[in-house]
Amino acid sequence: MSSNSFIPLSVPNLSGNEWKYAEDAIKTGWVSSVGSYVDEFEQKFAEYVGVKRAVAVVNGTAALHISLMLAGVEAGDEVIVPDLTFVAPANAITYCNANPVFLGSDWETLGLNPAILKSFLEERCELKDGYTYNKTTGKRISAIIPMHTFGNPVDMDPLIELCKAANIAVVEDATESLGSSYKGSKTGTFGMLGCFSFNGNKIMTTGGGGMIVTNDEDLANKAKHLSTTAKSDPIEYDHDAIGYNYRLVNVLAAIGVGQLEQMDEFVATKRRNYNHYIQSLSSVEGMNMFEKQDHSESNYWMYPLILDRITPMDLTKALGEKRIQARPVWKLMHTLPMFKDCETFGIETSEEIYNKVLCIPCSTDLSEEDVNRVCESLKEIANNE
Ligand SMILES: Cc1ncc(COP(=O)(O)O)c(C=O)c1O
């Protein structure tokens, strides 16, 4: 690769059996919403994550939508979600005609801070008839969506304990953290349901796709039913609920099977490159790679760099001039027009994270030379500040 070639932030790596399996699906004509690859993908995915069941769907947002419905979220309820997140979980809450409440994140995990959740429940909520209600709005809080930012697990033990006591269902947004674990268990397995995404920028991809996981057979059956138009008879067009056409098609599941075979390799490569960045940047003032908690394993999906002297936007521009792509953290949800009137609580650190973090190239096919070039460029920019 020449020294001035473009280094993208994150590109898919389709170097395994994806083509062979997809070709097989096409040759046999099983390209649509049923087929053996859908079953195989679901089974192997459940094994990989360590759960009883996995249900494949069209994308991570659909996985969140169905999971919230199954967690009992009803119209008029409130659902807790981090202010610092990609927009999808907040959107999924509104698909249920419920309202998001945005809570703060912490620097340790970049995810929802359980201490802030505790204060929110103590100061702003009350338990009545077995449910938690928001004292300000009078609305029931039926669920929470912890999201494992860039692959780094939220501190789940205190969060789960608080939610149990408050009877708040946990739907994990593990869309960014396939392969990550917290105290020895994979993310996605802590809540009632866990959701994954196979969007093109994720650690593994099916082009577009998602998965719902759960240890509850009944919930898994309901997830499959709701995501396949709630058809209740194998022959007759009988439907017993408003269903959704959210199934992942067989040809994409075939790609998923090929990708899943390489997950261990993807995580190992991402970890190796991440550690390379940590070492190379250790001497650079004002630029520190985020470091995971000891009790967690990250899949190192994205590579967050914490900046003290330059803004994420200025660094994005400076790297862009060197043909290196970077990506800022999402705008906080409460600053988006559709969520501007939603309640927020304890979001000061989320604001800091938004103002200080930039993600740098992290593709699994990043060469050592590429990582060195990104580091040299960062050093040069830091020295000119
Ligand atoms: C945190 C988060 N939640 C949900 C999603 C939604 O996934 P999808 O794009 O597959 O709908 C994504 C990724 O795109 C995400 O990063």
Question: What is the DSSP annotation of 42-101?
Answer: HHHHHHHHT-SEEEEES-HHHHHHHHHHHTT--TT-EEEEESSS-SHHHHHHHHTT-EEE
Q: Separation of 256 CA from ligand 1 center, angstroms?
A: 16
Give the ligand 1 atom nearest the CA of 64.
Answer: 4
Segments in the chain forming alpha helices (H): 18-28, 36-49, 60-70, 88-95, 114-124, 156-166, 217-227, 250-260, 263-281, 312-321, 348-356, 368-384
Q: Which atom of ligand 1 is least distant from the CA of 149? A: 1
**Those residues with Cβ within 8 angstroms of residue 190's Cβ, 6 or more apart along the chain or in another chain:** 156, 160, 170, 172, 182
Same domain, 311 and 197: no
Tens-of-pLDDT digits for all 385 residues of the chain? 447 899 999 999 999 999 999 999 999 988 888 889 999 999 999 999 999 999 999 999 999 999 999 999 999 999 999 999 999 999 999 999 999 999 999 999 999 999 999 999 999 999 999 999 999 999 999 999 999 999 999 999 999 999 999 999 999 999 999 999 999 999 999 999 999 999 999 999 999 999 999 999 999 999 999 999 999 999 999 999 999 999 999 999 999 999 999 999 999 999 999 999 999 999 999 999 999 999 999 999 999 999 999 999 999 999 999 999 999 999 999 999 999 999 999 999 999 999 999 999 999 999 999 999 999 999 999 998 7
* Whether 276 and 350 share a structural domain: yes
Q: Is residue 291 a part of any domain in this protein?
A: yes
Query: Are 275 and 214 in a shared domain?
Result: no
- Classify residue 10: in a domain, yes or no: no
54 plus 175 within the same structural domain = yes
Note whether 242 and 157 are same-domain residues. yes
Contact 220, 55 (CB under 8 A): yes
Pocket of ligand 1, beta carbon within 6 A: 59-61, 85-86, 88-89, 147, 173, 175-176, 197, 199, 210
Q: Are residues 74 and 177 in the same domain?
A: yes
245 and 341 assigned to the same domain = no
Question: How far away, in angstroms, is 86 Cα from ligand 1 center?
Answer: 7
Could you tell me the CATH number of the domain that includes residue 202?
3.40.640.10
Query: Is 202 inside any structural domain?
Result: yes
99: β partners:
78
Q: Assign residue 272 the CATH number of its domain.
A: 3.90.1150.10
Atom 4 of ligand 1 has which residue's CA nearest to it? 88
Give 83 Cα–ligand 1 centroid separation in angstroms.
15
Q: Would 1 be classed as within a structural domain?
A: no
Query: Given the CA of residue 173, which atom of ligand 1 is nearest to it?
Result: 3
Residue 341 lies in a domain: yes
Quote the ligand 1 centre to 330 CA distance (angstroms). Answer: 12
- Which residue has the least CA distance to atom 1 on ligand 1? 86
Please state, in angstroms and rounded to a whole number, the distance separating the CA atoms of residues 89 and 74: 15
DSSP 228: B
The letter for the amino acid at 177 is S
Q: From 220, 245, 260, give the residue that closes a domain.
A: 260
Determine the structural domain holding residue 308 and report its residue range.
263-384
Residue 205 to residue 143: CA distance in whole angstroms: 28
* Ligand 1 mutation pick, 83, 109, 175, max ligand atoms within 8 A of CB: 175
Give the closest residue (by CA) to ligand 1 atom 14: 199
Is residue 222 domain-resident? yes
Q: Are residues 251 and 275 in the same domain?
A: no
Which residues are within 8 A (CB) of 38 and not within 5 positions of it... i.e. 6 or more apart? 56, 247, 248, 249, 250, 253
Q: Does a structural domain hold residue 119?
A: yes
Report how many domains make up the chain: 2
In a domain, 2, yes or no: no
In this structure, the answer to whether residues 240 and 297 fall within a common structural domain is: no
Name which residue sits closest to atom 8 of ligand 1, judged by CA. Answer: 60
How many A from CA of 373 to the centre of ligand 1?
A: 30
Q: Find out whether 191 and 172 touch, Cβ atoms under 8 Å.
A: yes
Residue pointed to by tokens 């789960």: 160
Q: Among residues 260, 279, 308, which one ends one of the domains?
A: 260
> Do residue 287 and residue 246 come from a single domain?
no
Q: Are residues 232 and 331 in the same domain?
A: no
Q: Is the same domain home to 85 and 141?
A: yes
**One-letter amino acid for residue 183 of the chain:** K
Q: What is the pLDDT of residue 1?
A: 44
User: How big is the chain, counted in residues?
Assistant: 385
- Judge if pTM exceeds 0.95: yes
Nearest atom of ligand 1 to the alpha carbon of 208? 10
